[in-house]
Structure 1
């Protein structure tokens, strides 16, 4: 059968015409032939439709008979395929989407479990055929093949309603307290620019298996670039952090006008570098205690220092942090600026390599490349980032339920309430997204699939020809439950969990000061213990033979300077008892003497004490 079937005739009667004609036959008592002639349809078609309608009414059903052409080799009904499409959509929203091959295997498991007639080739391959999958996708245009973006588990689970609501509550409180508008809200974030770019696609000869593109090296050197953007679309010059301990002003002479920088051994933003950036930020924004601004940033350790908070309170900068691992959804720079910026960096790096053949790109060429790539930070992109995150205009309801769906995998009830009511068993095994290992049930599962299963249970009953027994419900989630994490393990760690906070508030600053004091005292105690332990190990490493050598050397030094008191380090014979013209040699390390005849005769003599060391 051709994949693209086209109808060649316009024969067939619409269902609404048959319904009107059947009402005239049954309701008004007219003959079938007269009504069929009046509506221009075949009297046999109308008679067959009236008989089917009467049969359904005798069974107590209010449905209408099916009319027109229908597929004879269709495995699942329309309702069943809709349930399967809804299941695939929700699995993708949870970031546990199924590949085409997994969908085909799952369709075969559904057909076998619910005793639905299917082709014999499905049993041989243990999966549905590729043609079925192709037509299934065409019949459900709401589905499409997409390339999934890798998302870490911490990001997927940390972006939940609790963390987001806490952030927007703090943001709304700050905006209302200081009467901020779009010109006062800023966002800062760092990104890395390396000297080895990702080459773009090129035009090459067809049929070649491998096409190369020139890069500066195999592993690049990274330079951190900190950018700050305003909710109205403005931006200040970038701030560079070079992997150099001594920063020089000429590092950024080819960069954007007004840019600044610093340096450290790693090239990543540190506390001292962030303090220098705050000076750079205050210089370009003209902030003052009378005209405060709001600076949004992440919870990186380099941003959480008491010195930086004191500087911000003095200058009039209000600091608000995002929830941990939520910057991919809440940070404007990540949402709309850094994506096109990285593409422009690759384009500019490729152009630099073509204009400078046989040259290696260094970290001092990066400011010029960033200068070219910053054309991606247009006011339109910047404003779009603040708008899509709901920061400005302020919209705390910007995110929908599907945005929080990945975090539902780890949703757990409150231990203080659920354990008392018995609604959650702490030792129940977690449910994983796997193959069918148990028969499907009609019970509604807990967690993220509760609403979905409840909707499935309200679906109309399948016809008896589908293979379902009376009262059985076609439910894909019952055969393959959605993933659900088990109870959280109790941890004895004392590491503090970060959250969205207003850092310039006094209680938060006081907590950071206490944390730094504890960290400092702990580091001092570790250093003292490490020194004492090193001294103890050094004493334990001292061997006995070294003591013997020291005793011999001490005896030689404390004795009189006469040569008669010098002993051979090997045979211990005094120099005064040596034979005439007997040659003595000195150890090259400890300066002790020995008979040349007692030594191996090498050009440089080393005694057995020093040789063993």
Structure 2
């Protein structure tokens, strides 16, 4: 005899924040039950039970959480704050801290060895959809220390005074900025069409790991001047290996033993390129 299949009850697709907003809107008589349900995507009976006090506002479907929901929300907030300051926690670090928290609060947990596993993390992320696993951008400690309100505020205050003293606020064409960057000679393979599910997809590149340095310059009005390209070499003959004729017109090409920017090269570029472009 074939057993009749029974469809499982669909799980909630709304967040706790939307639920609380819907309940608060009905309590303050800003929206009716049906309008609040439509706006926030929360079932009418779910809102009604909380408005009438039959169910706690923060009560969730399924089994109760190991950590009280109020503490979970505070934990989620601290995770976001830590990541924003450059001290984000990995999944392993979070598991260790949760284990310590449960031990300190003397909570009974189903965790093996007292440490939550992948299943708990997955459920935790679902309960807090504003969290996600991200790859952070590398930021050196020195730059991180300088990126604070006091230092940043002092910089813009000094910049404002300089622009005022030189009367440059209404002359963006006279405000120039230069920067040096390193460009690898090995190209990055472009995206290609391949079989779905292939784990290893090679893309051939050259064996060279050399870089060239480029000094670029642009003003506040959006105008640029020809750059300077520094090639690795000891003599001028090192430039012969590059097709400089096909480069950006009027680009200045020079060489350095490691293709690094030096004071002498910067001064040479300033006199021959920047000064001529500025006064021509």
TM over 0.5: yes
Alpha carbons of structure 1 residues 111 and 283: separation in structure 2 relative to 1, 3 Å: same
Aligned equivalent of 2:260 = 268
Aligned equivalent of 2:229 = 240
Q: How many angstroms does 1:131 deviate by? A: 3.0
1:105, 1:126 within 8 Å by CA — same for their partners in 2?
no
Render the CA deviation track for 1:121-167: whole Å, top value 9, x for unaligned. x0x24322433322322222332221112222222223334432332
Match of 1:104, SS?
helix
Aligned equivalent of 2:173 = 183
Match of 1:238, SS?
strand
Q: How many angstroms does 1:207 deviate by? A: 5.9
Render the CA deviation track for 1:97-117: whole Å, top value 9, x for unaligned. 111232223222212210223
Render the CA deviation track for 1:547-591: whole Å, top value 9, x for unaligned. xxxxxxxxxxxxxxxxxxxxxxxxxxxxxxxxxxxxxxxxxxxxx
CA distance in 2, matches of 1:204, 1:157: 45
Match status 1:116 vs 2:150: no
Match of 1:237, SS?
strand
CA distance in 1, matches of 2:191, 2:47: 54
Aligned equivalent of 1:5 = 11
Match status 1:18 vs 2:52: yes
Match status 1:257 vs 2:252: no
Q: How many angstroms does 1:16 deviate by? A: 7.0
* Structure 1 gap segments, 5+ residues each: 20-48, 50-64, 288-613
TM-score by length of 1: 0.35
Match of 2:155, SS?
helix
Alpha carbons of structure 1 residues 273 and 6: separation in structure 2 relative to 1, 3 Å: closer
Aligned equivalent of 1:286 = 279
Correspondences of 1:382-393 after superposition (within 5 Å)? none
Render the CA deviation track for 1:447-480: whole Å, top value 9, x for unaligned. xxxxxxxxxxxxxxxxxxxxxxxxxxxxxxxxxx
2:12, 2:61 within 8 Å by CA — same for their partners in 1?
no
Correspondences of 1:136-285 after superposition (within 5 Å)? 136-180=124-168, 181-205=171-195, 210-217=200-207, 219-247=208-236, 252-279=244-271, 280-285=273-278
Alpha carbons of structure 1 residues 265 and 5: separation in structure 2 relative to 1, 3 Å: same
2:50, 2:56 within 8 Å by CA — same for their partners in 1?
no
Q: How many angstroms does 1:17 deviate by? A: 5.8
| Aligned residue pairs, count | 237
Higher relative contact order (CA 8 A, sep 6+): 1
Q: How many angstroms does 1:243 deviate by? A: 2.2
Alpha carbons of structure 1 residues 103 and 4: separation in structure 2 relative to 1, 3 Å: farther
Match of 1:176, SS?
helix
Match of 1:257, SS?
coil
Match status 1:126 vs 2:137: no
Match status 1:101 vs 2:89: no
* Structure 2 gap segments, 5+ residues each: 1-7, 14-42
Alpha carbons of structure 1 residues 270 and 82: separation in structure 2 relative to 1, 3 Å: same
Aligned equivalent of 1:89 = 80
1:241, 1:261 within 8 Å by CA — same for their partners in 2?
yes
Render the CA deviation track for 1:9-43: whole Å, top value 9, x for unaligned. 96567157637xxxxxxxxxxxxxxxxxxxxxxxx
Alpha carbons of structure 1 residues 275 and 6: separation in structure 2 relative to 1, 3 Å: closer
CA distance in 2, matches of 1:98, 1:269: 37
- Choose 1 or 2 for highest CA Rg: 1
Correspondences of 1:558-577 after superposition (within 5 Å)? none
Alignment root-mean-square deviation, CA: 3.1
